[in-house]
Amino acid sequence: MQDIALVEGNNELNVALVPIAPPIAEFAYVSEIKRGYYSYSYDYFTVDVQNTGSVAGTCTLEFYTRVNQRVPQGWTDWVLRATVSHTLQPGEMRTFGDGKECLMRAYFRNNVVRMSVKFVGEPGEIVWEHGAWA
């Protein structure tokens, strides 16, 4: 650091300001997608997310599903089924979908279709797939 010297007749101070970006919340998946039994016809899905940033923030994940009925159409389009948000403190981990809001009909139990679910949000995209045939 330099000293500032005031000289008579030349009292200008040249200062350069360097903007500093504010700290942000950053989120990461810390588990694979997990499947749980909800009812005879439905299963629910969860995933764990951690705030790896230095400030609190809200993470929002969208939950999508699709099925593949082998013939004739193949995979359906992804369908948005739920949106889940949680505010996380720095270092905090939270299970998204633990309120059983991320449901999918358990088509795969009868071994006639393949199914896939995904979570999409600030941490990126994570996909889970299950099927009775390859």
Contact 83, 61 (CB under 8 A): yes
CATH number at residue 94: 2.60.40.10
Whether 46 maps to a domain, the answer reads yes
Q: How confident is the model at residue 9 (pLDDT cuts 50, 70, 90)?
A: low
Residue 38 reports pLDDT greater than 50: yes
Query: Mean pLDDT score of the chain, rounded to an integer?
Result: 84
pLDDT at position 134, please? 40
Token pair listed for 94: 């939270």
Q: Which residues constitute the domain of residue 77?
A: 27-131
Looking at the 3D structure of the chain, how many domains does it have?
Answer: 1
Tally of residues, the chain: 134
User: Which residue in 77, 76, 80 sits closest to 61, CA to CA?
Assistant: 80
Whether 10 maps to a domain, the answer reads no
- Cα(122)–Cα(134) distance, integer angstroms: 31
Query: What is the pTM for the complete model shown?
Result: 0.78
User: Which residue in 86, 99, 125 sits closest to 45, CA to CA?
Assistant: 99
Residue 48 reports pLDDT greater than 80: yes
Backbone φ, ψ for residue 56 (5° rounding): -70, 150
Q: How confident is the model at residue 18 (pLDDT cuts 50, 70, 90)?
A: confident
In our burial notation (b when 16+ CB lie closer than 10 A, e otherwise), range 31-63 reads eebeeeebeeeebbbbbbbbbebeeebebebbb
Whether 6 maps to a domain, the answer reads no
Residue 70 reports pLDDT greater than 90: no
Whether 108 maps to a domain, the answer reads yes
Range 22-36 average pLDDT: 93
Whether 22 maps to a domain, the answer reads no
Residue 77 reports pLDDT greater than 50: yes
Whether 47 maps to a domain, the answer reads yes
Whether 12 maps to a domain, the answer reads no
Percent residues over pLDDT 70 in the chain: 77
Backbone φ, ψ for residue 80 (5° rounding): -70, 125
Residue 64 reports pLDDT greater than 70: yes
